[in-house]
Structure 1
Amino acid sequence: MSQNLITALKNPDLYPHEVDGFQVIETHISWVILTGSYAYKMKKPVNFGFLDFTDLTAREHFCKEELRLNQRLTEGLYLEVLPITGTTEAPVLGGEGAAIEYVLKMRQFPQSQLLSTLQANGELNAAHIDEMAQQIARFHAHAPHVPLEHYQGTPEAVMDPVLQNFEQIRPFLSDKADLQQLDALQAWAQTSFERLKPLLKKRKAEGFIRECHGDIHLGNATLIDGKVVIFDCIEFNEPFRFTDVYADTAFLAMDLEDRGLKSLARRFVSQYLELTEDYEGLELLNFYKAYRALVRAKVSLFSMPAEASPVQRAATLRQYRNYANLAESYSTIPSRFLAITHGVSAVGKSSVSMRLVESLGAIRIRSDVVRKKLFGNQESENAVGAGIYNAEASAVTYTKLHELAGIVLRAGFPVVLDATYLKRAQRDAAAKVAEATGVPCLILDCTAPDAVIEGWLAHRRAIGNDPSDATLEVVKAQQASREPLGADEILHSKRVETHNSKSLDNLIADIRQRLPGL
């Protein structure tokens, strides 16, 4: 009936708006009829275990759930659920009488604006990723908490689908190397789970299990009116949606890395953390990324036809191995370090620290952001050392920076602290964090000509979106009062001319040479 109904719905007279033509997009669970201005999504009467659309009442329910849930992240994209009445051969859209089917009406957007398409065309950029980080952070902050008594989010609930992946993948494999890799991945997952179990319990108790999106990747994000819109969340399976916010975040990070966009994945994670300050959960990131990669690996095997030709089987196995190798990459032990920037305001420290994020996988923590989260967003009235920039507030800010740095390092990630660090005592305190966590400490001695600094200050004021309140007066006061690096500090420092891209390139190459595991 369904296929005949889709054919009958390709009649422009059925629609209360102009129809430019019909295009049907089919997935394993739905059809989407594109008409030009609007799209109509109809669910297939299928049962895959993890979803069951076989009953008309269920299809109506999940259409309404899809409308409700996706309106959390979109505005004016998901419009209404309409009944289809009449008969299969002569349907009526939104008519009176008994419904024979239901459709979800949506505003149509060009498929060319999907972020996955932009990425394939080389048009995806850092601004898109930053916008996604902001939206996801804001969404997670307001997402409903899953009740504590709910099974979802318990350590056992987290591990159930992880183990299921291995059980469902193994029958498809026959190559010895593939099976050995899968066994090693399962052993790593098990030991990681045992190590992370106290943290998983803590996350559950502290309310980090929320009604998330469940399926965030570039194929489910698009540009509408120049803004990134994330759509098509999981509506059909609560356990897929009732997860730790890190499981949601990990999906996009994994998807970016799968597409060869490691620097953007690192940028996304660091930006998300800056907005949420959820550094304590960072230890879960690679565990969830590996899980998401193996879900993709499993799905690739499930898509192989029962009577696959040798060519089809080889192509499927190649896709599977790409995802399995990606999952394996998350089990490696990274090289950690603590880097601090050293230099006056507007010298370009944030550009340097972002290079460490994108190139080396460091987590960036900025003093300007931390300070304003600690003391509010009021400005310093352009006075040197006043308000939230007085000595006491600065001491509290640096203490918080070092506390967060310790958390990131213990989670297994390198960290870069983006602050002026003009005082020896501040630098010594950072060095103690590195010593306590057994990692090298590197001072990034940032310099630029005065004229360049003045130009960057003017640019900041013009843009108006920088967290720093520094003025030229502040910069001059910093230059006069700064405590230069001592001879012992120079031994583990690297001078960076921030206005010189070659100097930045040399910095990254030098760190990689010192820490070859990066």
Structure 2
Amino acid sequence: NEIKRVISCLRRFYESEPPRPEIEAWGTPEKLKISTDENFAQVKPFVGQTISSVAFEAIRHFTNGFYGMNGKRFHERIQQHRIRDCHGDLHLDHIHLTPKATTIFDCIEFNDRFRFIDVASDLAFLAMDFDFEDRSDLANLLLQTAARDFRDDEMLRVSDFYKCYRAFVRGKVESIQAISTEAAKAEEHAKQATRYFCLALQYAVSGSERLALVIMGRVATGKTTIARQLGRELDWPVFSSDRIRKMLARVPPTQRTTRKRRGEVYSERMTEQTYKELWADGIAALKVHRGVILDATFSRQANREFLREQCAKAGPRLQLVELDVDLGEIERRLKARDQSAGEISDARFDDFEKLTVAYEPPSELSPDLIKVSANDLVSDTVKEVLLRLSENNCSRIIS
């Protein structure tokens, strides 16, 4: 009921003044880029402080890609008179509800271009604020109700783009406040900035949907390392089949399974149990997180099919990323494991030939599979994965 009251109030506000050409001109991609390009320039000094370089590049890649793929859509929204003199700073702190009154206050006055925006952008700010407060249910309800009441189904096609933009702006504002206040408050502002930038990255790679992101590939392709780094960038939990298998077998994580027990620990029964547990951990995490990362070889098509079936039943979107490394580099990495004390995987060089033969290339996943070279630096691979995910997200929104 409160959501409906807010939407009714906003609708009266938006319709109180008819759109004018000078307002609608700010709905073109060229005009929108003035604000987004300005944001990227202003955030650049904070790269390495409140936002990582790979997150910065992925968000910028998504933003520019969305412009390139949606020029027609932006112009259609101008023709539909969706560009209005809006609030411009519509977040939860600016809405006051009493049993008898709905008050929305403190709109932007210092710069008209921040108010001359798509109503979808205005509402996306409020939806993003709900997401930030871990109330995605209310964010979804807000946008779905607004789309219905405004007779604007296309609003939902652009809302994730605007959510990403709004989260990035909030990250920028908090970053600036972090260097403009005393130390005690500065730390809190910096933490808030990092959270907002992380949310913007989540929108860039997966939109508002829950995502099960699978990092798969042959042994020694760096799956666990890449998965962990992606988990840090996206603030998503990471679950590893190697660790789960060791837990089920009651083997300490970094202790190599003895040859005597290897047949048991790597039996078909134990492998099936491991993948079931991996999925159970993932789906449980998705009840409280927007995404989850699953790290496993998924060397058999049967295991991949199991995962696809489970995602189809449970609802989250599934995206598999296969890491690809030259065989010579895999050999080198496996040999190096003999000198590593903290390795969880049991695979070593003497397993190389057997594991290579056992790997079933995921050809059945094409064209949805993302394949990324992992021969180079971890940071380069993580960046490439995030860029490819953002491209996929753009394409998915268009379709």
TM-score by length of 1: 0.39
Higher relative contact order (CA 8 A, sep 6+): 2
User: Which has the greater radius of gyration?
Assistant: 1
Give the structure with the larger strand fraction. Answer: 1
More helix by share: 2
